[in-house]
């Protein structure tokens, strides 16, 4: 990690940077310049035990009290010059770098360059990364390759479903979510590969957030039977889903805003350690409850669909609940020097497994008896056109009801001649 700043303030003690160093491998190189009028300024190195940095960062303490927490024999107080230091500790440890000039009446003024590394110059995988970020780049590359493979398979399945006129809007949401996740992973991988704070990483996380929003919307709609047992939702359900998803989007925006504007750089915080972060976790649980409520009523009226909905309920509930539970536990139980790496692995693993489970459950082949869709998009389109031209009460009872599909796993009420020889073709009322 490289930092270059020209710093001026009226305070006599201030925080500058933090980095998680490996024992013996970590190296802190510094080059500091300042005017003689501001002599003598000192670098202060605090480590992450409760008796050091948390006490030093207490804003009620004076400059002298903050300096008194350090031990000169541990080389934690450095008279400014150009040099480097290595660190010896029992584990990876966060070090917090501050500067002070307690006798000064002018404050602080300095120009400094910091190089904080955890490996030799030819080690591109670890040198510039803080120890809490080790292996994140490796994991992102692996998840990206898996997500790209998944995206290709999803597109192929989408083309097959389109040829059979079974590419419903919920499956389009699924494909969109998968592709957005792939774009987000690509941008995050680029950001970590360059190790640059240029906004690419933030945009990548926004793509991943949008992917999650599409995925949750798809799960809730499918739970209510949309495109599986009905072609439209009741007005009241539409309002509820719209309000919930709007609130979810606003909370995600608040999360990114809070992280950028209000996260204290002097504290090691994870993105969910904020009011917006905990609010998002609460909304995930509310989304799961909404999903379960809708799915229960769908299965009550369409028990023949349990081949799809029972495994769908299992993996969707696991996706909804496990992520927030693990995040809450990690915020309180996982050590801060491994939290970032572990959370990147957990979040992306659950996202990938959720996509993969839905893809397997909805694969359009003859061996899949759990395939959920049985009414073709062309039938729904024809019915919508007929309804727009006359009242629903005047339609024949044999016509497809947009609010309630027929009670058969695959056979629609309206017959359709399938030129493609689909395995879901209808001929003389039988399923082929």
Which residue in 383, 361, 378 sits closest to 232, CA to CA? 383
**Is residue 359 classed exposed, middle or buried when 0-12, 13-18 and 19+ CB atoms within 10 A define those classes?**
middle
pLDDT band at 139 (very low <50, low <70, confident <90, very high): very high
Classify residue 39 by its DSSP letter: -
Q: What is the pLDDT of residue 413?
A: 37
Between 55 and 199, residue with greater pLDDT: 55
Q: What is the pLDDT of residue 99?
A: 92
pLDDT tens for 172-208 read 999 999 999 999 999 999 888 876 555 556 788 899 9
- Decide if 150 contacts 355 (C-beta within 8 A): yes
- Decide if 319 contacts 350 (C-beta within 8 A): yes
Average pLDDT over residues 398-415: 53
- Decide if 117 contacts 26 (C-beta within 8 A): yes
Residue 405 has pLDDT above 50, yes or no: yes
Q: What is the pLDDT of residue 198?
A: 53
Q: What is the pLDDT of residue 401?
A: 61
pLDDT band at 317 (very low <50, low <70, confident <90, very high): very high
Q: What is the pLDDT of residue 215?
A: 96
**Is residue 236 classed exposed, middle or buried when 0-12, 13-18 and 19+ CB atoms within 10 A define those classes?**
exposed
Residues with Cβ within 8 Å of residue 16, at least 6 apart in sequence: 3, 5, 7, 97, 98, 99, 112, 114
Which residue in 280, 277, 285 sits closest to 319, CA to CA? 285
What does DSSP say about strands 13-21 and 77-79: parallel, antiparallel, or unpaired? unpaired
- Decide if 233 contacts 226 (C-beta within 8 A): yes
Q: Is 33 helix (H, G, I), strand (E, B) or coil?
A: strand
pLDDT band at 118 (very low <50, low <70, confident <90, very high): confident
Average pLDDT over residues 116-125: 82
Q: Is 16 helix (H, G, I), strand (E, B) or coil?
A: strand
Distance (Å, rounded) from C-alpha 202 to C-alpha 215?
20
Q: What is the pLDDT of residue 149?
A: 97
pLDDT tens for 69-93 read 988 777 888 876 667 777 777 778 8
pLDDT band at 425 (very low <50, low <70, confident <90, very high): very low
pLDDT band at 262 (very low <50, low <70, confident <90, very high): confident
Q: Which long-range contacts (CB under 8 A, 24 or more apart) does 391-395 make?
A: none
Distance (Å, rounded) from C-alpha 191 to C-alpha 407?
51
Between 83 and 424, residue with greater pLDDT: 83
Instruction: Please tell me the least confidently modeled range out of 173-177, 180-184, 316-320, 368-372.
Output: 368-372
Q: Report DSSP letters for 70-105, one per residue.
A: S-GGGT-EEESSEEEEE---SS-EEEEEEEE-TT-S
Most confident range (mean pLDDT) of 69-78, 182-191, 364-373, 400-409 is: 182-191
**Is residue 113 classed exposed, middle or buried when 0-12, 13-18 and 19+ CB atoms within 10 A define those classes?**
middle
Copy the structure tokens of residue 320: 């909804």
Sheet (strand 77-79) strand order:
13-21, 93-100, 42-47, 77-79
Average pLDDT over residues 274-284: 85
pLDDT band at 427 (very low <50, low <70, confident <90, very high): very low
Distance (Å, rounded) from C-alpha 424 to C-alpha 300?
25
Residues with Cβ within 8 Å of residue 341, at least 6 apart in sequence: 132, 133, 134, 135, 136, 139
What does DSSP say about strands 2-9 and 93-100: parallel, antiparallel, or unpaired? unpaired
Topology of the domain comprising 135-361? Rhopdopsin 7-helix transmembrane proteins (1.20.1070)
Q: What is the pLDDT of residue 342?
A: 86
Average pLDDT over residues 380-401: 53
Distance (Å, rounded) from C-alpha 84 to C-alpha 92?
18
Average pLDDT over residues 123-150: 90
Q: What is the pLDDT of residue 212?
A: 94
Which residue in 29, 37, 17, 42 sits closest to 99, CA to CA? 42
Share of the chain above pLDDT 90, in %: 34
Copy the structure tokens of residue 199: 């906004």
294 CB neighbour count, 10 Å cutoff = 22
Share of the chain above pLDDT 70, in %: 82
Residue 412 has pLDDT above 90, yes or no: no
Copy the structure tokens of residue 2: 């490289």
Classify residue 392 by its DSSP letter: G
Q: Which long-range contacts (CB under 8 A, 24 or more apart) does 63-70 make?
A: 63/12, 63/13, 63/100, 63/101, 63/102, 64/102, 66/13, 66/98, 66/100, 67/13, 67/42, 67/100, 67/102, 70/44, 70/45, 70/46
Q: Where are the domains of the chain?
A: 2-117, 135-361
Q: What is the pLDDT of residue 424?
A: 34
Copy the structure tokens of residue 110: 């300095």
Residue 211 has pLDDT above 90, yes or no: yes
- Decide if 355 contacts 151 (C-beta within 8 A): no
Q: Where are the beta strands (DSSP E) in 88-169?
A: 93-100, 108-117
Q: What is the pLDDT of residue 147?
A: 97
């Amino acid at each position: 990690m490289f930092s270059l700043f020209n710093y001026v303030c009226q305070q006599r003690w201030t925080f500058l940077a933090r980095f998680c160093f490996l024992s013996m491998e970590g190296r802190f190189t510094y080059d500091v310049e300042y005017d003689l009028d501001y002599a003598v300024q000192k670098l202060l190195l605090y480590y992450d035990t409760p008796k050091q940095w948390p006490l030093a960062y207490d804003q009620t303490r004076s400059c002298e009290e903050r300096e008194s927490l350090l031990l000169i024999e541990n080389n934690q107080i450095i008279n400014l010059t150009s040099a480097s230091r290595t660190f010896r500790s029992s584990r990876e440890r966060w070090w917090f770098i501050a500067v002070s000039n307690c006798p000064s009446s002018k404050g602080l003024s300095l120009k400094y360059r910091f190089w904080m590394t955890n490996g030799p110059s030819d080690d591109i995988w670890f040198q510039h990364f803080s120890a809490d970020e080790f292996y994140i780049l490796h994991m992102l590359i692996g998840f990206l390759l898996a997500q790209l493979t998944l995206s290709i398979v999803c597109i192929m399945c989408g083309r097959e479903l389109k040829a059979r006129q079974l590419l419903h809007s919920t499956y389009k949401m699924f494909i969109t979510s998968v592709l957005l996740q792939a774009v987000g992973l690509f941008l995050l991988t680029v950001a970590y590969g360059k190790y640059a704070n240029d906004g690419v990483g933030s945009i990548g996380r926004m793509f991943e957030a949008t992917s999650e929003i599409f995925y949750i919307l798809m799960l809730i709609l499918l739970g209510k039977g949309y495109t599986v047992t009905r072609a439209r939702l009741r007005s009241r359900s539409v309002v509820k889903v719209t309000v919930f998803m709007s609130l979810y989007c606003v909370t995600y925006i608040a999360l990114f805003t809070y992280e950028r504007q209000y996260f204290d750089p002097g504290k090691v915080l994870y993105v969910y350690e904020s009011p917006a972060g905990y609010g998002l976790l609460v909304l995930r649980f509310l989304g799961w409850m909404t999903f379960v409520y809708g799915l229960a009523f769908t299965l009550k009226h369409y028990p023949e669909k349990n081949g799809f909905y029972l495994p769908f309920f299992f993996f969707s509930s696991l996706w909804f609940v496990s992520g927030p539970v693990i995040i809450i536990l990690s915020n309180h139980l996982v050590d801060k020097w491994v939290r970032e790496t572990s959370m990147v692995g957990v979040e992306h693993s659950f996202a990938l497994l959720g996509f993969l489970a839905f893809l397997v459950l909805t694969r359009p082949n003859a061996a899949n008896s759990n395939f959920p869709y049985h009414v073709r998009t062309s039938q729904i389109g024809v019915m919508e056109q007929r309804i727009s031209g006359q009242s629903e009460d005047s339609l024949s009872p044999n016509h497809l009801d947009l609010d309630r599909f027929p009670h058969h796993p695959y056979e629609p009420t309206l017959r359709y001649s399938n030129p493609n020889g689909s395995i879901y073709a209808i001929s003389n009322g039988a399923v082929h």
